[in-house]
């Protein structure tokens, strides 16, 4: 049985090795505190519980994390499993440590197992989103690693579920964070329980071939080191068999037996400088025969998780192919520990949170082959701000827009659930149905057969389009009478506002024509549509007002013809009505479109041009295409226009950016747009022959102030040189 003393000694030694200047007092305090808190608890194998946090802390030290993280690891189960509180830990060990412990606790409480493949990416995202601080993720990975190392004491059911979770969540996260060593161990130890036969086959085969393999690797290693020493290149060279799970995967993917599988040896040459890397590559290709098409230069083009190395595959004299990876010590460190290596380089330089973020951002950039949306979503922890991940009571994960409420949740489950919602519980506590859901919440909807259905207020409370659509559908179906009443009221109000006659008071034939134009069979049908929100009253009136006006005018002319003494009434419409947020002076109602060349938005000085057949086209006053306004023959077609101040709808606009061509620029721009919460319609780039590129960003804004804010953010992106409104 393992003892406290063994593990404590081991932690001390590791600390001495990795952090020789470490002040042990605070570590000892945390060890004592945790030991006292866990004193009545035992591990499954009967050993004292404290050895678990000690072992986790030791892994965290090996990762190279800082003191806060080590304290966090020592205390990581205190809030969950003992009577220790956040405040208690904050008082004794500082708020940063307390935050870390609380973060780990949240992850421990959440259930990350799911059998559905499409839930995996959501689970990983939620894991990151809930963590907030990347050190929480790292402590949790260390926690899982130690649990995997002691998995033999768990029940078979628990083994399978924990190992699945490790394969689905922890190993991919370790990979994305660039921590190869952790990833391999997590994968191999999971495989051992998930497919014991497959795992044991490989292990037995390797055991049987151990001598043969070692002799082979020794001969290659000697050949390489001899040559490099001859050339005076300082190096550390060693061979290894690829890890069990990667062999297992190869066997299954290529449908080959162990005997048929080659390419299981990998050699690593670690040198001091980058020029040495390329020198070594030359010598390797001189010593062995190159396998064409297998050379990869991840030094000049690092992998998205910051991995750097030269890879080549060659064939030795025995005819066995093997891979050689060549890298510097620093690259080696990054390859083994990924993001955690950052704390090693940073030591002594204080904590620069901003720089941490940049590092996290780059590290989390997922592979090139995932689609762009996914890529942007996985950039960094606060990129998940626009999404919230919550659970059903059965542990199914549901992703909703940030700010969502139990109403959104209910409709995401099923419209039947939403329509019979009477209340909600979050984490077993009754909440208001407009409560804002947080990551990791367990949400339970209280329903009743006698529920009266959604209320119209819900349309303003819910955040998801899904909920809104389903609520509208309900009103459309269930509440025709009520909808007609609502719709009629708002339609008539709009007609009255514009001094137009109401349906029922107009000529019968005219009304039939109007209904035809509106594409409804009866006024009630149209009222119902307005009532449930399928159409707005403004839109309906906008569609028929010209016809009604014309008819009213014709009638007036008729009347004045019949009675010449009667003074004609003044034209009823005085209020120029905004169309698409623009008021055209002197023209009452006409089609409005915004020119593509300069894409004006509210706040810009604008001018209108009467096109042939397409209404008035709006340009910015400084658009080069408005030069024609000074041409006398065209002058009549230019009209004065102004923005309608009340308009709040979004306007599409375009920015062109002059940039220096580089990899990842598109994604950096996309990131800025996402963090600025801009509604992007399109981002595209084209490379120019001179090493420059032009990116076109099409997006929606409310006004010129918002546009300028976004423009400034884009101009702050590295390698963006300038910007232009509109599109040439």
Pattern of binders to Mn ion over 327-356, x per CB under 5 A? ------------------------------
Burial class (CB in 10 A: 0-12, 13-18, 19+), 410: buried
Q: How far is the CB of 52 from Mn ion (least distance, A)?
A: 6
- What residues from 534 to 563 belong to the interface with Mn ion (CB under 5 A)? none
Q: Which residues pair with residue 659 across a beta bridge?
A: 693, 720
Closer residue to Mn ion in complex, CB, 105/328: 105
Q: Is 80 in the active site?
A: yes
Q: How far is the CB of 15 from Mn ion (least distance, A)?
A: 20
Closer residue to Mn ion in complex, CB, 54/510: 54
| Spatial contact of 311 and 325, defined as CB atoms under 8 Å apart | yes
656: number of CA atoms within 13 Å, CB side? 15
> At a CB cut-off of 8 Å and minimum separation 6, what does 100 contact?
68, 69, 71, 72, 76, 133, 135, 136, 139
**Residue 171 and residue 190: Cα distance in Å, rounded?**
10
The number of residues in the chain equals: 728
Closer residue to Mn ion in complex, CB, 141/426: 141
Q: How far is the CB of 719 from Mn ion (least distance, A)?
A: 44
The stretch near Mn ion (CB under 5 A) out of 64-72, 74-82, 89-97, 431-439 is 74-82
Closer residue to Mn ion in complex, CB, 105/237: 105
Q: What 3-state class would DSSP assign to 608?
A: strand
Radius of gyration for the chain, computed over Cα atoms and rounded to the nearest angstrom: 34
Nearest position to Mn ion, beta carbon: 143
Q: Per-residue b/e over 411-427, b at no fewer than 16 CB within 10 Å? A: bbeebeebbbbeebbbe
Q: How far is the CB of 147 from Mn ion (least distance, A)?
A: 7
Q: Which of 2, 62, 66, 81 is catalytic?
A: 81
Q: How far is the CB of 143 from Mn ion (least distance, A)?
A: 4
77 binds Mn ion (CB under 5 A): yes
Closer residue to Mn ion in complex, CB, 143/276: 143
Q: Which of 80, 195, 492, 525 is catalytic?
A: 80
Q: How far is the CB of 4 from Mn ion (least distance, A)?
A: 16
- What residues from 88 to 147 belong to the interface with Mn ion (CB under 5 A)? 143
Closer residue to Mn ion in complex, CB, 190/595: 190
Number of residues that bind Mn ion (CB under 5 A): 2
Torsion of CA 489, 493, 495, 496, to 10 degrees: 130
> At a CB cut-off of 8 Å and minimum separation 6, what does 551 contact?
506, 507, 510
Q: How far is the CB of 76 from Mn ion (least distance, A)?
A: 6
The stretch near Mn ion (CB under 5 A) out of 71-79, 184-192, 243-251, 607-615 is 71-79
Show the tokens assigned to 180. 């190869």
Alpha-carbon separation of residue 449 from 124, 408, 453, 581 (angstroms)? 37, 19, 10, 45
Alpha-carbon separation of residue 559 from 144, 181, 728 (angstroms)? 88, 92, 54
Closer residue to Mn ion in complex, CB, 162/619: 162
Q: Which residues are near Mn ion by CB under 5 A?
A: 77, 143
Active site members: 80-81
């Amino acid at each position: 049985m393992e003892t406290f003393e063994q593990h404590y000694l081991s932690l001390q030694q590791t600390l001495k090795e990795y952090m020789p200047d470490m002040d042990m007092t605070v570590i000892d305090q945390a060890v004592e505190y945790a030991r006292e808190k866990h004193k009545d608890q035992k591990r499954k194998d009967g050993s004292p519980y404290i050895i678990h946090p000690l072992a986790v802390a030791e892994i965290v030290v090996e990762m190279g994390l800082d003191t806060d993280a080590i304290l966090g690891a020592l205390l990581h189960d205190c809030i969950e499993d003992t009577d220790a509180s956040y405040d208690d830990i904050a008082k004794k060990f500082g708020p940063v440590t307390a935050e870390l412990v609380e973060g780990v606790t949240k992850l421990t409480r959440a259930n990350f197992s799911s059998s559905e493949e499409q839930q995996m990416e959501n689970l990983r995202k939620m894991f990151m989103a809930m963590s907030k601080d990347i050190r929480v993720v790292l402590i949790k990975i260390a926690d899982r690693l130690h649990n995997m190392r002691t998995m033999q004491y768990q029940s078979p059911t628990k083994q399978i579920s924990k190992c699945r979770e490790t394969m689905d969540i922890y190993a991919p996260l370790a990979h994305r964070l660039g921590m190869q060593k952790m990833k391999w161990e997590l994968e191999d130890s999971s495989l051992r329980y998930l497919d014991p036969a497959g795992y044991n086959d490989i292990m037995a085969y390797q055991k049987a071939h151990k001598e043969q393999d070692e002799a082979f690797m020794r001969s290659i290693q000697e050949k390489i080191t001899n040559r490099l020493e001859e050339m005076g290149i300082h190096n550390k060279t060693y061979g290894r068999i690829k890890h069990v799970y990667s062999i297992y995967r190869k066997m299954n993917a290529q449908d080959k037996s162990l005997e048929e599988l080659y390419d299981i040896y990998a050699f690593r040459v670690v040198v001091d400088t980058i020029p040495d890397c390329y020198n070594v590559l030359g010598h390797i290709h001189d010593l062995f025969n190159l396998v064409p098409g297998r050379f990869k230069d991840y030094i000049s083009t690092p992998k998205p998780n910051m991995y750097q190395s030269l890879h080549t595959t060659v064939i030795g004299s025995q005819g066995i192919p093997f891979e050689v990876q060549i890298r510097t010590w620093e690259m080696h460190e990054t390859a083994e520990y990924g993001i955690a290596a950052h704390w090693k380089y940073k030591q002594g330089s204080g904590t620069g949170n901003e720089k941490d973020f940049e590092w996290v951002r780059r590290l989390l950039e997922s592979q090139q082959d995932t689609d762009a949306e996914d890529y942007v979503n996985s950039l960094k922890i606060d990129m998940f701000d626009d999404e919230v991940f919550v659970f059903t009571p059965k542990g199914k994960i549901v992703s909703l827009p940030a700010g969502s409420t139990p109403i959104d949740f209910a409709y995401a489950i099923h419209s039947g659930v939403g329509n019979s919602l009477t209340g909600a519980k979050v984490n077993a506590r009754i909440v208001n149905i407009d409560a804002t859901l947080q990551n990791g919440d367990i949400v339970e909807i209280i329903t009743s057969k006698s529920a009266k259905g959604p209320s119209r207020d819900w349309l303003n409370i819910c955040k998801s389009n899904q909920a809104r659509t389903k609520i509208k559908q309900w009103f459309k179906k269930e509440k025709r009478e009520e909808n007609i009443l609502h719709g009629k009221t708002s339609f008539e109000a709009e007609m009255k506002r514009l001094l137009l006659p109401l349906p029922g008071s107009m000529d019968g034939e005219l009304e039939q024509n109007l209904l035809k134009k509106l594409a409804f069979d009866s006024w009630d049908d149209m009222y119902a549509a307005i009532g449930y929100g399928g159409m707005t009253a403004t839109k309906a009136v906008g569609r028929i007002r010209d016809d009604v006006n014309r008819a009213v005018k014709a009638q007036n002319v008729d009347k004045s013809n019949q009675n010449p003494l009667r003074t004609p009434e003044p034209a009823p419409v005085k209020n120029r009505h905004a169309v698409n947020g623009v008021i055209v002076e002197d023209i009452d109602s006409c089609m409005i479109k915004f020119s593509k060349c300069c894409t004006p938005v509210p706040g810009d000085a604008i001018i209108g041009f009467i096109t042939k057949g397409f209404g008035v086209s709006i340009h910015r006053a400084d658009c080069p295409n408005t030069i024609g306004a000074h041409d006398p023959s065209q002058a009549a077609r230019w009209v004065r226009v102004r923005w309608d101040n009340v308009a709040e709808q979004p306007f599409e606009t375009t920015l062109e950016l002059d940039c220096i061509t580089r990899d990842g620029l598109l994604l950096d721009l996309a990131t800025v747009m996402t963090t600025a919460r801009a509604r992007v319609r399109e981002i595209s780039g084209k490379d120019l022959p001179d090493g420059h590129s032009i990116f076109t960003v099409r997006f929606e804004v409310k006004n010129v102030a918002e546009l300028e804010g976004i423009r400034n953010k884009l101009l702050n992106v590295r390698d963006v040189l300038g910007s232009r409104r509109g599109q040439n």
